[in-house]
Amino acid sequence: MDYQSPNASEAMAEKPKKKWPLVKIFVTLILTILVFSGGVAVGRGDINFKGLSLSRGASTTTKLDYGSVDYLYSLLKADFDGSLNDQDLLDGVKGGLVAATDDPYTVYFNPEEAKIFNEELTGTFTGIGAELGTNSDNNIVIVAPLSGYPAEKAGLKPNDIIMAINGETTVGMRVDKAVQKIRGPADTTVKLTILRDRDKPFDVSITRQQITIASVESSIDGVIGYLKISQFTNDTLKLTKEAIADFKTKNVKAIMLDLRGNPGGYLKGAVDISSLWLDKGQMVVSQRRDGRVVSTEYAVGGNSLKGLPTVVLINGGSASASEITAGALRDNGVAQVVGEKSFGKGSVQQVQNLPDGGELKVTIARWYTPKGSNIDKLGITPDVTIGLSDEDQKAGRDPQKDRAIEILRSKIQ
């Protein structure tokens, strides 16, 4: 929004001793917003609903003094030339307070935003079919375009920077706000301004559609079973077990687990899927806070794929829960990892339901693989690094998948 300050002398003329000039009010407002809004850009991240309670120590006061906020509110009520909505102001205070953590994955959702957030986790929503996040510069980026949906068909790629949405800059915009602006009724169009690899920005117009994600796809190539997990949702384990049952009846001797473009989802999904290869009690991932282990997740049993040669495919769109799974299987010696370095989203968020229907998603720890590798901002580096170019995709080639097949066939023989 544009602000236009009046001449200072005119602002002071009516009540020179009781009323601040709007210039000064505006400056005060900006300073307060800066205090509350130090961070921007919120991604979804992996979600832990276990209610893990962690204490960092008495590094902050036990209670904040909101007197300055009340004072600022009184100034707004007295001097703002326009209408004020109390609920919008409260949401702004809550959002700014949370954003001041300067953590891109800690965010306050008002009730409407909470509904959108939870729709994503169910796998059904209306949009372009792309997971959004932030990079190290707090730019809003494409984490992964979902296979077969408008974002992928429009040519969007992991790490593409979204500079503007329908002409509105994304500088300072949180990811949840960007998601709201990109969402819209099916068959309508949204224009994104994209920056890729420091080339000249370009515009892409994308038609929205209903997005329904089947979290698991499977097929069989000879004696190799192919599992494609697009994200970790409530039905992922069930669908994977159904695919495995089919593999067993058809004498599958090796597994290719494709986690490319998988932006993550539920922590429990990563643990359950990893458990299909691991013995009960083997470590899947640890959570550390301030350098100390605060929680560890272990395989839960039911390892129906134990002993089968396995290759895990990853790329720059593999994030969070998919990185946990790849790291767990490799570190426990049950799989090789092939493809490109993963996204590097290695923090765990806990969701707290709020009385008004809103939600707080807060980062409570960082992920580490069983061998102690930090995932956050570093990602998983494949055992075998091999790219997948635009030319490959246009020609229908998949060198990453081909290399995985070669590895699995050599192990079978």
State the catalytic residues. 320, 331, 345
Question: Tokens 């969402």 label which residue?
Answer: 183
Give the contacts of 411 (CB within 8 A, at least 6 positions apart): 254, 309
* Residue 83, helix vs strand vs coil: coil
Residue that has been written with the tokens 């999904």 in this structure: 269
- Strand 310-314 and strand 336-339: the pairing is parallel
Which residue type sits at 15? K
258 secondary structure, DSSP code: E
Residues 164, 173: contact at Cβ < 8 Å?
no
Phi, psi (deg, nearest 5) at residue 297: -105, 135
146 DSSP assignment: P
* Spatial separation of the C-alpha atoms in residues 367 and 358, rounded to whole Å: 26
Within the chain, what is the greatest distance between any pair of CA atoms?
91
In what helix (H) or strand (E) does residue 128 lie, and over which residues does it extend?
Answer: none
| Residue 56, token pair as written in the block | 């960092």
